[in-house]
Amino acid sequence: MRLLNRYGNLYREENVAISGIHTHSGPGGYLQYLVYSVTSLGFVQQSFDAIVNAIEQSLIQAHENLKPGSIFINQGDVEKGGINRSPSAYLLNPEEERGRYKSNVDSLMTLLKFVDSASGKSLGSFNWFPTHGTSMTKNNRLISGDNKGAAARFFEDWFADSTTNKSLSTTPNIGKIVEKAHRIKATGGRLCGETTSKGFKVRKNDGSLFVGAFCQSNVGDVTPNVLGAFCTDTGKPCDFNHSSCNGDNQICLGRGPGYPDEILSTKIIGERQFQKAVDLFTSATEQVSGKIDYRHVYLNFTNIEVELDNNNNNNVVHTCPAALGPGFAAGTTDGPGFAGFQQGDKEISEKWRKERDILKKPSQYQVDCQHPKPILLDTGEMFDPYAWAPAIIPIQMLRLGNLIILAVPGEFTTMAGRRLREAVKETLISYGRGEFEDDTRVVIAGLSNTYSQYIATFEEYTQQRYEASSTLYGPHTLSAYLQEFKKLAKAMATGETISKGPSPPDLSTIQRRAQIGPFGDSPPSGVKFGDMKEDIKVPKRGFFKRGDHENRPYATFWSANPSYDLLTEGTFAVVETLIQGQGWIPAYDDDDFSLFFKYKLDESGLYSLANIEWDIPDDVMLGVYRLRHFGSSRKEKDSPIVYFTGASSAFAVLS
């Protein structure tokens, strides 16, 4: 609606795709169906508004910077970017089909390079590659874009450095640098303006920055924890079929390449994607040309009639209302769910059947339709206090020349994604009258436009591991997707229009909202927001060393709940460096992989604290630095928000 008011009918749901990179380390509560907001204690308006506003501003910036350009495409394999976390389910797919592929996960990255035609300047890059955003474990409490967010940061910084010829500084006089740092003390807390923190962002969002987007694909059964899953009690591999340890799902955990350091694992998997993206970007020479086109339709996925062709005997089956099985409750090796469940469970205990029936006993139709999934949560038949799961979902196809992007509202497993890409390509070639050839590339943009959990193959569904147990619409869900996407592909190939389909409901007026704060924050008596509670502790040698990841600058500020203002396009934390003749210049902010901002309450539970920690990069410029914090607060519920800042004492960073 906002884009409609601003640009008329130029941008609309048919030709705009919203696709998530997928992280398990982000704020929740922004989806409208009840089952997705249980863990956030209801719908969270602030989370929803932050996402909507950011998407809107991204589109505005893109529109205001439109210019003639060229697109180049390249493809290559990412090594050790992911493994299959449900290999036993994958093996249920036909042997002949599996034999066509070298691995049980897709390793191919497809990359687009965008170039300004007039200047030849590179403007940005999009790529698609499947691996879950679960390098950060379920114990993490920091907001993170996970490995794809890290890859994007590394790529954008690489491009900035490669175009500015950034080099490391030398140290002409160590003694003077240390002496200067020791003389500069903490500033104390001070009031500032609502937009002050925006001026301290290292990368200003003015629409001119290079954009490196790392997009998600058929990620359903792909984990970045590439060392495998092991039992924490014995150190041995987990049970192959159930991913448990003597029946216990809680102690079967996947290990990333930096195990046991989850942040290091995130960095490594991010770097593997980033390095391949750089290779593809710098070597891309094939230019994309041809038509731009799109198709979009809404479908009621709870009762789609699907025609199956089995040995030339046409069978008609149906999808089902949404439901989740006990394998869903078991969780995965990336993050175990509830104790007492295992992936692949085909039975539900009497205790859990009684608990389920209190919420909603599934109808016999639903039991038969979802078989062999035993129904733990009958979300598709639950409407109190409002719908628990989506019924109407969108599917979408976008065309850029010989590149076809399939925007899917869920997580396709590896083989499910392969079947979808193949079916669409075959249909395009069949009906395209020579317009589509073997060089047509089809990519899946996962988690697009809404979320409806997983899509497993029919064969994988029979085992009922996590992905199959989370395939909402029954055993023929993938077949329905194949059928409906083939319709879109035929329409695109022949130039036909398609009807919009039934619109999804708007539940915004009836959603439950449990969050009621924050109401008010104040520092202890005699203290101002932004004052230091714990200043920098410099090592005995008198300075910090570049690349020393054990001894990090760390400071704690008296602060307030960061939810008063999310400081969008601003920052809560900054590392400043002292430049002769220029003063303090921001060098890193909370968008950087090396800087950590942590909010907590003090020992009394009455006052808010902000911890800022800097993992000094190996390539940091030597010199004098300090840590700065920005925040906001209000004394009472309806009082105006006030903004504050404060900086630590200075410290030296040397080699």
Binding-site residue positions for Zn(2+): 22, 132, 411, 454
- Tell which residue, 325, 443, 417, has the closest CA to residue 73: 443
The answer to whether residues 272 and 78 touch, using CB atoms and an 8 Å cutoff, is yes
Q: What are phi and psi of 72, to 5 degrees?
A: -115, 150
Whole-number CA gyration radius for the chain: 26
Cβ neighbours of residue 355 closer than 8 Å, sequence gap 6 or more:
none
Amino acid at 133: G
What single DSSP character describes residue 602?
A: -
Cα separations in angstroms, 324 against 332, 388, 390:
14, 11, 13
CA dihedral 147, 148, 154, 158 (to 10 degrees): 150
Residue 571: alpha-carbon gap to chain centroid: 20
The answer to whether residues 289 and 307 touch, using CB atoms and an 8 Å cutoff, is no
Q: What are phi and psi of 299, to 5 degrees?
A: -130, 140
Structure token pair of residue 401: 């020349």
Cβ neighbours of residue 190 closer than 8 Å, sequence gap 6 or more:
528, 530, 644, 645, 646
Structure token pair of residue 266: 């995130």
What single DSSP character describes residue 196?
A: G
**Distance in angstroms (rounded) separating the CA atoms of residues 512 and 32:** 10
What single DSSP character describes residue 105?
A: S
Binding residues: 22, 132, 411, 454
Burial 334-350 (b: 16+ CB within 10 A, else e): bebbeebbbbbbeebee
**Distance in angstroms (rounded) separating the CA atoms of residues 317 and 301:** 13
**Distance in angstroms (rounded) separating the CA atoms of residues 70 and 64:** 18
Amino acid at 511: Q
Amino acid at 234: T
464: region left, alpha or beta (phi > 0 left; psi from -120 to 50 alpha): left
Query: Based on the number of CB atoms within 10 Å of its own CB, is 556 exposed (0-12), middle (13-18) or buried (19 or more)?
Result: buried
